[in-house]
Amino acid sequence: MNELKFKIEAPEHGWMDVTVSDGSKEISLVVSDVPCNSLHKLANILLGLQSGAKSEVVEFSLEPDFALWKFQAKDEELELYVYPNSSGNNPVLFIGKREKVIHRLYKALRDLESLSCWKESDAMSNIWSWEFPSKELNLFSTRAKSSKKAIK
């Protein structure tokens, strides 16, 4: 089992690159901000997994197609099935330690949040159509600290 890594690039004109890799395989998607709010869903997936959810799904718009990430909790492991298009065929499976995968997804979102593009006055009209899910990430962090599962 290799370590999962997430990379989410700065959005530009409603598009961003989203990558998941584990050292032996990598899937990159160029996703759109319409019609779905995939960043908000990713932040809510963190909250769900933190609360013990066994299964979570995020849809990414590829205009006109879509892709899915399906998270499945299995004891101490977390499986991530990446469906790179709407056919539902041939998902790419990534497996990692549950806590590490959750932490790395959280870190990727926090790294994205730290980019200056979100602070621009026209961010929601020129960069990404949705507000960044900072409230959800802050709630995740607060819960982690209060449960003494410090984020490393």
Say what percent of the chain tops pLDDT 90: 86
**Structural domains of the chain sorted by starting position, each given as residue range(s) with its CATH number in brackets:** 5-108+125-142 (3.30.2450)
State if pTM tops 0.75.
yes
Average pLDDT over residues 69-96: 95
pLDDT tens profile 22-76: 999 999 999 999 999 999 999 999 999 999 999 999 999 999 999 999 999 998 9
Closest CA to 2 of 88, 69, 92: 92
pLDDT band at 148 (very low <50, low <70, confident <90, very high): low
pLDDT of residue 151: 45
pLDDT band at 143 (very low <50, low <70, confident <90, very high): very high
Judged on CB neighbours under 10 Å (0-12, 13-18, 19+), 101 is: buried
Two tokens, residue 117 = 């593009």
